[in-house]
């Protein structure tokens, strides 16, 4: 299952922001150990952590997996909730495979997956499905959001930075193809040492979606691999 791309993880170094935004303090609310099992049979034990004081008031969860070796930074993934992809296995996006890959890679190295309640890049489930209907008429994912009068990407990672601080993580490697995630964390005062690419998970139904992420928001996905069939 792992398309870890470790051989090509010539991770992009990210410089620190000189003017970080000050954060209010969040605290750990509950930490509980949960055995996880995925549809392909992969199993791992994680600690699920909830928080008090998150800026947006949402019920985000940290999934703590393994322990980094001495001298190594934690690997962190900011994963936005996707009911259609994570739960129902929708082939219109790559969210489910990215979640599965991230859990194994983080468990192998040690780190945290933040499961963030930001469905549809922050526009919500109903709006996301409305955007799907517009995509069926020929718009790409970003154009569809704009046609609905919504932002291309409404996600704010303030709560994610609070969660990491509450877990004692100030310096990390970020598992992401999205430069905005690293930029926001930097601005919020965290040190992102490297941005490590995820795998590329194409289907006949999601190639246009993945290409739009490269063109509109400069995701570091190789366009040459984004071909259907």
Q: For residues 121 and 111, what is the distance between their CA atoms, to the nearest angstrom? A: 23
Query: Helical H runs in 120-176?
Result: 125-135, 141-147, 158-166
The residues assigned a catalytic role are 153, 155
Q: For residues 36 and 45, what is the distance between their CA atoms, to the nearest angstrom? A: 6
DSSP assigned state of 98: H
Burial of 106 (0-12, 13-18, 19+ CB in 10 A): buried
Q: For residues 11 and 173, what is the distance between their CA atoms, to the nearest angstrom? A: 9
């Amino acid at each position: 299952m792992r398309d870890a791309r470790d051989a090509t993880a010539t991770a992009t170094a990210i410089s620190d922001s000189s003017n970080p935004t000050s954060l209010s303090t969040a605290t750990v609310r509950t930490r509980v150990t949960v055995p996880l099992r995925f549809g392909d049979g992969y199993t791992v034990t994680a600690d699920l952590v909830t928080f008090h004081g998150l800026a947006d008031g949402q019920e985000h969860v940290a999934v703590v997996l393994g322990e980094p070796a001495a001298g190594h930074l934690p690997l962190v993934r900011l994963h936005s909730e996707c009911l259609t992809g994570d739960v129902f296995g929708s082939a219109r996006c790559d969210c489910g495979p990215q979640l599965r890959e991230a859990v194994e890679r983080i468990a192998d190295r040690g780190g945290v997956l933040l499961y963030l309640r930001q469905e549809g890049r922050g526009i919500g489930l109903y709006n996301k499905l409305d955007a799907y209907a517009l995509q069926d008429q020929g718009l790409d994912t970003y154009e569809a959001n704009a046609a609905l009068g919504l932002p291309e990407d409404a996600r704010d990672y303030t709560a994610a930075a609070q969660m990491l601080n509450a877990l004692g993580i100030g310096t990390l490697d970020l598992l992401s193809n999205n430069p905005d995630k690293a930029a926001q964390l930097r601005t919020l005062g965290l040190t992102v040492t490297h941005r490590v690419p995820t795998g590329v998970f194409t289907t006949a139904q999601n190639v246009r979606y993945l290409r739009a992420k490269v063109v509109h928001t400069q995701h570091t996905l190789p366009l040459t691999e984004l071909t259907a069939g």
